[in-house]
Structure formats: structure tokens, C-alpha cells
Amino acid sequence: MDGTLERGGLAACPACVALPNVGDVAGGAAEKELLISLPEIHCAACIIGVERVLAAQPGVASARVNLTLKRATVEAEEAVQPGALVAALGAAGFKAQELDAGLLSSTEADKAGRDLLMRLAVAGFAMMNVMLLSVAVWSGAEGATRDLFHWISAAIAFPAVGFAARPFFASASVALKAGRLNMDVPITLAILLALGISLYETIHSGAHAYFDAALSLTFFLLAGRYLDFRTRAVARSAAEELAALEVPRAVRIVDGAEETVAVGELAVGDMVVVRPGGRMPVDGVIVEGASELDRALLTGETRPVVAAPGQQVSAGEVNLTGPLTLRVTAAGKDSSLHRMADLVAVAESAKNKYTSLADRAAGLYAPGVHILSALAGIGWYLGTMDARVALNIAAAVLIITCPCALGLAVPAVVTAASGKLFRKGLLIKDGTALERLSEVTHVIFDKTGTLTMGTPEPMNLCDIPERKKRLALSLAMGSAHPLAVALTGALRGEGVLPLPVEGLREVPGYGTEARCKGRVVRLGRAEWVGAEAGDETATWLSVAGEAPVAFTFADALRPGAAEAVAALKAAGCEVELLSGDAPSAVARFAAALGIDSYQAGVLPAEKAALVEALQAGGAKVLMVGDGLNDTAALAAAHASVSPATALDAARVASDIVLLGESVAPVAEAVTTARKAVKRIRENFQIATAYNVVAVPLAVAGMATPLVAALAMSASSITVSLNALRLR
């Protein structure tokens, strides 16, 4: 941005305009658009700060922050690397992450949203003008004036309905072609009948025309459609953004040289390097290197596993200490990660059988309305032998029963509820998720990564002598192993100072080693320092000639875990803990959180089977989990929640994503969902009550256009206000 301003300043000298701008020539290379996620920006100062930092980077043409999406769009030269921009923002104190632009298909959604908004605006504009003219008619315009007003109304209403109501016409024609009835069929019929009858009446200078009813029907229903669209769009774009945060790349070795490629390009037999801290991109066999693997996401066990040449590794495992070279045995669709995702797809199709309250209501409603209006028409024809009166009555019945309130009831409540939950850090991915969540009776938690942070914390520091602590700190500082990092942080926090050591080196897969006053000191695996491995996660410190000392670790609890369990119990849910981890760790956590029933060492398939067994017994299960070992259970459960840090497959399988660190909002989600479903039911009751009053009026032939307009607006506004009570 600054660049453009300067260029503009230069051009103030008239002669400069004719000269080719040096900057333009150099920047003539193709420009690309980069997307950067900025999860923590929240104010005007952040916007300006981020834009200033980005604009100051070489090669950046312009940068614009979108605070609503918490995202920056940067136009830059082809050579600019997103990593450099992220680093510059990090240095300026803004947390930033690269986004994979290929995975964000927001333009499609933008177009659909703008399209709906325009139709809504046109319907609103036409409705207001026609209402204005109708008020004159209702208040007593007669003869030629009334006919003139009706003709003007018709001139406005026909093109406006033709444009604004097209989504309903399209959906109704699709349903009719397939031989089904949906909500849009009575809507379309009511709109078309209202327009046709009104035109007929206008030509024959009749007293009643329903142009305003046709338009306000379109307007209110479009409002419901638009709300529905907004909720889905927000959820979808946030879910896409989560997926786009992980740019899947791998380092491949070709003829001894390393190159970075997309994971999709890897083939069986390729050699891939995985650095410490990296996630395995594919299934493979270790060819070279020694390290430790974190399998928590796959199996739920927190203790690292030794990795040596010849060993099989699965996609999704994290390499901890040393670099590993793998030979790819299964890539892309064949990898274990993908096979698990296929399992999820199967389980999801079972979940799709759930019909929402709105669909069930529509199934009863659409045929009922048609039968009622046909009966009214036939009855009046038999009574008066006047086809014009009979058709008028039939149209009035259809218009008055038309589901303004029903069309608004569910979207308004779901929008209000998901907006409320979004502010608490919960993302509802599916419209029916709230309804399913409200029925939950059992809550099953996974331990590692869900109730715990997945990061260890030292437990027994107070039992260890000061000198050993100082030695351990000097050794731990030399390693990036998660246990060492946790130990360094905890010891630093206690104010422990490191002892001077010599020749510090890391032995990948084992630990760190150094010399202190001529004696060898080691920090690492039990077998390596000559100790007996125990049941708990631990790292051992040995000083030559002294007995080894163990530093035991436990996973840190996620904030809000205890609150969530207590609140769920208060809400009347049974809470259970299922974990793939060792029994002692699981038992300790269950006790700390107040969970009475727990199972340890559960295999992924067993988790899903347990969930299915519970549901077969009539329970409705809410599964909360994050790992690959939970995905099948997440998909099988009635409703499911996963944290944003979960593996992609788990997030895809779950209905709700937890955006923050705390799990406390899970309990809130259940109570809010129950409230939301209560509001939806109330709205249906309001709509029914209004029909009970209005339909007899219409059948009796007393529904004048004024009565229809009043009744329709009143019911729509009531259900919207009722939905707003949720906020």
C-alpha cells in the first residue's frame, strides 16, 4: 500500500508519468495472492499494524486485513515466500499462520450469498412499495383509483417475484420432477396462485388483490433462507480454514538432493525425510536414523515409542528426536490415515438418516395444506356454484397457511444458537447437530489430547535433590524432546540454575549425554541409563557411580476439563472416559476429574463398538475426541465434538469443533442445544396456534388481503423475536 502511495507522489511531477516506473518493471513478474490467518487480531490497531508490517516486506504489492474472517490477503510477487511474511508478523508480535488458498473455496459461497441478498433486497423493495399502494386500497380507495393501484402493484409484483422467488421455483420443480413434495411446492403454488388470482381480479376490477401477500411471502421466506445460508457459510468457511492451516508438504530425496513436494505427489518407493517435530506424511518403513515416535493421535498412548531402521510407521505419527528417512509403502488413498477416513464416510452415511425437526414438520405440512385448500375450494364451489369465488378462497387458504413462520422458525433459532456458541469458541458444522446434541444422554471423553493438552508436566520435582535438578536442567536444555522441553520449563520456573557441563550431545532415540567434573551424566530412556523402566512416563538421570533418578511426568489437564465434567453431570448426562493409554494414568485422571466409569487400553475399533453398543441400548452418545483412534467412534456417535488441534480426519468426522483450549464450552453446547430445540418447538407451536386461528377465517371466506398481511407479518415477527431470546 505504501508503495502505491509513493508512486502516486512521484507522478505528481508531470514528466514522471511518461517515464516507465522502475518499480513496475522490476515487479512485472506474475503476481500471486497469499492468504494468512491471524487468529488473535481484534482491533483497529491490529489491522493497521499487520497491514504496515506486510506492506513493508519486499515484493509485497498490497495487503488487506479482513477482521471478520481474521485473515489477511496479500498480493505479492511470485518469489515472495509466505514463511517470510509469517516470520515478519511474528517478530512484530502478531500470531500468524499460512493458509492453503487452494482449499478455501470462499468465492463460490460469496457469490451464492450475494445472490440471495440481492433477491431479498428486491423482494423487500417491491413489498414495501406494493404495501404502500395496498394501504390506500385497504383504507377505502374505490373504482378507477383502486384499479389503477392494483395495476401498478401488478407491474411491480410480477417482475419482482419473477426474480426474487426463483430459488423456490427451482427447488419445487426439482422436487416435483422427482415425484416428491417438499416445503417449496406449497410455497410456489401459493405465490403463483396469489399472483394469478390477483391479476384476474384486477382485470375484472375486483375488490381484493393479493400482490402484497405474494411479495411478503417471498420476502420472509428468503429471509429464512438467507439466515440458513449465513450459518452454513460461516461454519463451512471456518472448517475450511482449519483444514487449510495444515499445508501438507513432505521432503523427498531424489538422487541425493532434497526437494519439498506436496504429499499428493509422493508415490510408493519414494524416499522421504522426516525431521524431528514433523508428522509422518505417509505409511512407510524406516530406512535410516534412530528416533522416538509419538503415537498419541493414533493410539492414545502418551509414552514415546523407539524408532529404528526396519520398523513400520503410519501416517500421522510424530517424529520426536532424530531425523528419519522412510521408504514409502503406501501413499495418498492407500495410507492408513485415508483408510480411516473411508471408515468415517461409511459411519456418516448412517448419521445422515437423521431427519431434522423442520423436515419432519414439512413432511406433514405440505400434503396437509394442499388437501385443506382443495377441500375449501371444492366446498365453496358446491355451495355457491361460482368458480371465481371458490378459487379465491382456495388461494386465500394457501396464502394464509403458507409457512412464513415455519420457514423462519428453524433458521432463526439455529443462527442465534450457533452465533452464541461461536462466541464461546464452538463451531457448529451441521444444521442438525444442535438437535442431535440436545438429545444426548451419555458423554464419552477421550483422554489424550482431549481432556489433556497432550503435553507432559513433571510430577515429582519436590522429591529430587537440588544438585540433580541442576544437572538435569543442563542436560534437558540440549534437547527438543517434549519431555526435556517440559522439564526445562518446569525447572526454570522453579528458579533452578544449570550446572556447567562439557561435551553435551544428543543421542537420537535415547537421550542426552555430557560430562560433568569428569563423570558421564545421562538423561533419557530407562534402558539407556541402566534403570528398570516403570509403568509411568518418565525420563531418567544417571550420574556414573550413582543410582539413577526418575523424573516422572503426567499429561497436563486441559483447562476447563473438571468444569465440563461437573456441568455435564449437572445437566443429567452420564460421563465416561475411554482411553488407549495405560491403566494407571487413566485411573488417576478419572479420579482427578470425578469420572466414575472409565476404561483404559481401548483399541480404536473397540471404542466405536462401545459407542454402538451403548446406542443400541437406547442411549444417545456424545463423543469427544481428537485422535485417529477416535474417528470411528466420533462418526458412530449420535453427536461428536473434537478440538481444533485434532487430526484432520477427526475434525471432519465430528459435528462440532472446539476452537479454544478449554473444554468447558462442551457442557455449554449441550445446554444451549437443549434451549435451542425448546425454542424451535415453541416456534412450531406459535405457527400452529396462528394457523388454528387464521385457517378457519380463510375457509370461511373472511381472509381479506389486510387480514392475510397482518397475520403473516405477526407470526413471522413473533418467531424471530422468540429466536432472539436465545442470545
The residue from 12, 18, 30, 43 that contacts other proteins (CB under 8 A) is: 43
d(CA 45, CA 94): 11
Name the residue nearer to other proteins (CB basis): 134 or 683: 134
C-alpha cell at 613: 453398543
Name the residue nearer to other proteins (CB basis): 124 or 278: 124
Near other proteins by CB under 8 A, which window of 115-123, 369-377, 462-470, 688-696? 115-123
The residue from 114, 515, 519, 725 that contacts other proteins (CB under 8 A) is: 114
Residue 44 within binding range of other proteins, rule CB under 8 A: yes
d(CA 279, CA 270): 17
Q: Which of residues 686-705 bind other proteins (CB under 8 A)?
A: none
Closest CA to 499 of 524, 530, 525, 476: 476
Residue 253 within binding range of other proteins, rule CB under 8 A: no
d(CA 317, CA 325): 14
The residue from 6, 110, 259, 288 that contacts other proteins (CB under 8 A) is: 110
C-alpha cell at 73: 490477503
d(CA 27, CA 161): 50
d(CA 633, CA 654): 10
Name the residue nearer to other proteins (CB basis): 219 or 690: 219
In Å, what is the CA distance from 255 to each residue of 249, 252, 288, 411, 539? 19, 10, 16, 58, 39
Given a contact cutoff of 8 angstroms between Cβ atoms, the answer to whether 57 and 88 are in contact is: yes
Q: Which of residues 124-143 bind other proteins (CB under 8 A)?
A: 125, 128-129, 132-133
CA 180 to chain centre: 32
CB of 395 to other proteins, least distance (A): 26
The amino acid present at 227, given as its one-letter code, is L
C-alpha cell at 671: 445446554
398: CB partners within 8 A, 6+ apart: 186, 189, 190, 193, 194, 369, 373
Name the residue nearer to other proteins (CB basis): 107 or 260: 107
According to DSSP, residue 28 is labeled T
Name the residue nearer to other proteins (CB basis): 122 or 608: 122
Q: Which of 147, 270, 446, 626 is labelled catalytic? A: 446
CB of 146 to other proteins, least distance (A): 12
Closest CA to 656 of 462, 432, 495, 455: 432
The residue from 11, 26, 118, 605 that contacts other proteins (CB under 8 A) is: 118
CB of 166 to other proteins, least distance (A): 16
Given a contact cutoff of 8 angstroms between Cβ atoms, the answer to whether 661 and 563 are in contact is: no
Given a contact cutoff of 8 angstroms between Cβ atoms, the answer to whether 560 and 664 are in contact is: yes
d(CA 537, CA 586): 12
Residue 352 within binding range of other proteins, rule CB under 8 A: no
- Strand 574-578 with 442-446, pairing: parallel
- Number of residues counted as binding other proteins (CB under 8 A): 28
Given a contact cutoff of 8 angstroms between Cβ atoms, the answer to whether 594 and 490 are in contact is: no
CB of 565 to other proteins, least distance (A): 34
The residue from 60, 80, 96, 122 that contacts other proteins (CB under 8 A) is: 122
Residue 234 within binding range of other proteins, rule CB under 8 A: no
Question: Which spans in 446-505 are helix H?
Answer: 466-476, 482-493
In the block, cell 513400520 appears at 312
Near other proteins by CB under 8 A, which window of 90-98, 148-156, 305-313, 490-498? 148-156
Write each residue from 427 to 466 as x if it is in contact with other proteins (CB under 8 A), else as -, in one continuous string. Answer: ----------------------------------------
Residue 105 within binding range of other proteins, rule CB under 8 A: no
Residue 40 within binding range of other proteins, rule CB under 8 A: no
CB of 202 to other proteins, least distance (A): 16
Question: Phi/psi of residue 297, each to 5°?
Answer: -70, -25
CB of 228 to other proteins, least distance (A): 18
CB of 121 to other proteins, least distance (A): 5
Residue 423 within binding range of other proteins, rule CB under 8 A: no
Residue 355 within binding range of other proteins, rule CB under 8 A: no
d(CA 416, CA 458): 43
d(CA 340, CA 349): 15
Given a contact cutoff of 8 angstroms between Cβ atoms, the answer to whether 637 and 611 are in contact is: yes
Residue 164 within binding range of other proteins, rule CB under 8 A: no
CB of 117 to other proteins, least distance (A): 6
Near other proteins by CB under 8 A, which window of 42-50, 222-230, 405-413, 582-590? 42-50
Write each residue from 60 to 99 as x if it is in contact with other proteins (CB under 8 A), else as -, in one continuous string. Answer: -----xxxxx------------------------------
According to DSSP, residue 267 is labeled -
Strand partners, 63: 74
Count the neighbouring beta carbons within 10 Å of the beta carbon of residue 20: 8
CB of 15 to other proteins, least distance (A): 24
Residue 573 within binding range of other proteins, rule CB under 8 A: no
For 34, the 3-state DSSP assignment is: strand
Residue 112 within binding range of other proteins, rule CB under 8 A: no
Near other proteins by CB under 8 A, which window of 41-49, 79-87, 338-346, 373-381? 41-49
Name the residue nearer to other proteins (CB basis): 145 or 312: 145
Near other proteins by CB under 8 A, which window of 15-23, 111-119, 324-332, 708-716? 111-119
Residue 547 within binding range of other proteins, rule CB under 8 A: no
In Å, what is the CA distance from 187 to each residue of 147, 163, 167, 369, 446? 27, 15, 11, 10, 46
Is 446 annotated as catalytic?
yes
Near other proteins by CB under 8 A, which window of 121-129, 485-493, 600-608, 665-673? 121-129
C-alpha cell at 289: 536414523
Residue 145 within binding range of other proteins, rule CB under 8 A: yes
Residues near other proteins (CB under 8 A) are 1, 4-5, 43-45, 47-48, 65-69, 110, 114, 117-118, 121-122, 125, 128-129, 132-133, 145, 148, 152, 156
Q: Which residues are catalytic?
A: 446
